[in-house]
């Protein structure tokens, strides 16, 4: 009988010990889970600023334009002028789309007795395709305003001094090579077509060499 009592006591102890261990394990897991839930509920969700990825683009360029000057009763006169271009653009919440404005001053040139002075501004919507890390393709559409002053002597000997303000549509295609993240060089070729018929400056083809900074 005494031996039986000892055996029963050992069996009871062996059953109670795993239950105690399981209770301790469960208690530890429950505490960790509760702390995790509390920490998660206290976390603050931060919304990314949409302006943080927007870049501004400022550039300087050498612009060349070729246009035909329409003259009454005479053949058209092809005029080529060179000048400086200043540009400023901003991303439209995308790494591919941007808006850009340019100002051009072509100065004065004289050909066959006609002196011309040309100034121009443009507003463009630009799409940039990232070919690789260093190379981007640029294309887009826009509008421009050209201010052309002409003075000289007509074929009949009479002098003239005329000013034309010409609104136009334009399209362009270009390429940019990035030297660093903040500096690029490139070239654009563009075509322009006048929106009005009462002008001596109805169309042009332009080539521009660009240097742009990005910040």
Q: What percent of the chain has pLDDT over 70?
A: 75
Q: Where is pLDDT greater, at 19 or 80?
A: 80
pLDDT digits (tens, 9 = 90+) for 154-194: 777 788 899 999 999 999 999 999 999 999 999 999 999 99
The highest-level CATH class for domain 56-214 is mainly beta
pLDDT at 57 over 80: yes
**Nearest partner of 205 among 75, 78, 72, judged by Cα:** 78
**Nearest partner of 126 among 137, 138, 135, judged by Cα:** 138
**Over residues 115-129, mean pLDDT:** 97
Contact between 209 and 174 (Cβ < 8 Å)? no
Long-range contacts formed by 45-50: CB under 8 A, 24+ apart = 50/93
pLDDT bucket at 76, cuts 50 / 70 / 90: confident
pLDDT at 3 over 70: no
What average pLDDT does the structure give for the chain? 84
* DSSP, residue by residue, 143-201: EEEEEEEEEEE-TTS-EEEEEEEEEEEEEEEEEEEEEETTEEEEEEEEEEEES-SS-SE
pLDDT at 100 over 50: yes
What's CA 135's distance to the chain center, in Å? 14
C-alpha neighbours within 13 Å on the C-beta side of residue 137: 6
pLDDT digits (tens, 9 = 90+) for 193-204: 999 998 988 999
The reported pLDDT for the residue numbered 112 is: 85
Phi/psi class of residue 152: alpha, beta or left (left: φ > 0; alpha: ψ in -120 to 50)? left
């Amino acid at each position: 009988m005494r031996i039986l009592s000892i055996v029963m006591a050992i069996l009871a102890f062996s059953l109670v010990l795993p239950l105690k261990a399981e209770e301790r394990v469960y208690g530890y897991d429950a505490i960790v889970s509760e702390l995790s839930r509390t920490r998660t509920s206290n976390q603050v969700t931060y919304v990314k600023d949409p302006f943080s990825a927007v870049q501004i683009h400022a550039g300087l360029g050498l612009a060349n334009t070729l246009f035909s000057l329409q003259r009454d009763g005479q053949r058209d006169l092809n005029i080529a002028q060179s000048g400086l271009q200043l540009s400023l653009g901003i991303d439209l919440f995308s790494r591919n789309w941007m808006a850009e404005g340019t100002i051009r001053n072509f100065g004065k040139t004289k050909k066959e007795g006609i002196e011309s002075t040309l100034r121009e501004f443009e507003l463009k919507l630009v799409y940039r395709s990232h070919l690789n890390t260093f190379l981007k393709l640029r294309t887009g559409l826009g509008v421009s305003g050209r201010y052309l002053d002409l003075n000289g002597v007509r074929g009949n000997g009479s002098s003239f001094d005329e000013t034309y303000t010409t609104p136009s549509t334009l399209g362009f295609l270009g390429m940019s090579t990035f030297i660093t993240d903040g500096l690029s060089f490139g070239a654009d070729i563009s075509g322009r077509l006048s929106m009005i018929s009462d002008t001596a400056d109805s169309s042009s083809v332009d080539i521009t060499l660009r240097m742009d900074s990005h910040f």
